[in-house]
């Protein structure tokens, strides 16, 4: 908090923009995959839960 307070708003925005988008998204919890989703793996058309 203190460190941030010392940064100018402009530097803060620059720092955020400099972060790869990935780094921000990575922090978000991944949504649980729908086990009923139908997907294609190696040519097989299967239900995601088949992969277990």
- Please, what is the minimum distance in Å from the beta carbon of residue 33 to another protein? 15
**Which span sits near another protein by CB under 8 A: 1-9, 12-20, 24-32, 38-46?**
38-46
Give yes or no for residue 52 binding another protein (CB under 8 A): yes
Q: Which residues contact 38 (CB under 8 A, 6 or more apart)?
A: 45, 46, 47, 48
What stretches of the chain show up as alpha helix (H) in DSSP? 2-6, 9-18, 21-26
**β-sheet bridge partners, residue 41:** 44
Among 2, 23, 32, 45, binds another protein (CB under 8 A): 45
Q: Which residues bind another protein (CB under 8 A)?
A: 38, 40-47, 50-52
């Amino acid at each position: 908090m203190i460190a941030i307070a010392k940064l100018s708003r402009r530097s803060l925005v620059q720092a955020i923009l400099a972060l790869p988008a990935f780094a921000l998204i990575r922090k978000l919890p991944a949504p649980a995959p729908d086990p009923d989703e139908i997907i294609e793996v190696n040519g097989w058309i299967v239900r995601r839960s088949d992969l277990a």
